[in-house]
Structure 1
Amino acid sequence: MALDNTANGTIVVLNGPNLNLLGKRQPQIYGHDTLEDLEQQCAETASVHGFDMDFRQSNHEGVLIDAIHAVRESCSGLIINPGGFTHTSVALRDALVTVEAPVLEVHISNVHAREEFRHHSYISGIATGVICGLGTNGYLAAIEYLARVTRTA
């Protein structure tokens, strides 16, 4: 049974660089779903659990940091696929530390089965949890997790 869409607050999903090309860029690795498809799937899953969805993508580190600052005290949970910033951005990590809700790091591919430089994440050490290798289903698993641990209804 679906809950009232505003009963449990807002889940924020942030997507980093190149994820705007989802479905077009290396579909053998990242699949055929577009970012728009993923946004719809996430919104539907969140709605079933009584959450609103705030879904964003940027190729710019500062824009992602500003988004984190804007929601750090108000979101019910934050899901981030930092893309290439995973392996390079201490600044993104430092912004995520300030989020008062659970933070989940999601990667579409299994980063540990790829190039060695992808094995290190500045985000994993401060994240509540990490999901990788499940394709875009990893985002839906993250929403399901947040629904279970943050339910207020």
Structure 2
Amino acid sequence: MLVSYLSIDVLCHVILIDLFKFESVSNAVTRDQSILKIFIYALILGPFFETLLFQFIPVKLLSTYVFFKKKKIWIVLISALLFALTHLYSSYYFIYTFLMGINLVLFFFIMEFKNKGSGLWHTTLLHAIINLMVFIHQYFR
């Protein structure tokens, strides 16, 4: 299941990377930073802390309320919106990160349900793979 989800996710990202232009992101994020520093942040620190802040904490916190337990779509939308709001480099990138935020929180739910609590690590890994694709696309095209 993990491999099939990851395959679909990678395909979606390849399509979306070309659909949305990331030049403004590259300029905003990489100004005066070494490629190693960007690599460490984008593939290690960023995915872990963003997964913790925008999937793990919202899901765990909001799931304690009856309203959100019955309507998990609100948890998905809130989580994705929070994720997208921290990526306001451009309107296109906001849309891209909102869609990817939905994808990440749904993956988090699947991994939490299927593997009993491994959502944080699996989602962090998926997020790192997504960031790796964007990183390669930006720096090695």
Give the structure-1-normalised TM-score. 0.30
Structure showing the higher helix proportion among its residues: 2
Give the structure-2-normalised TM-score. 0.32
- Report which of the two structures shows the higher radius of gyration computed on alpha carbons: 2
Asked which structure has the greater RCO (Cα within 8 Å, sep 6+), the reply is 2
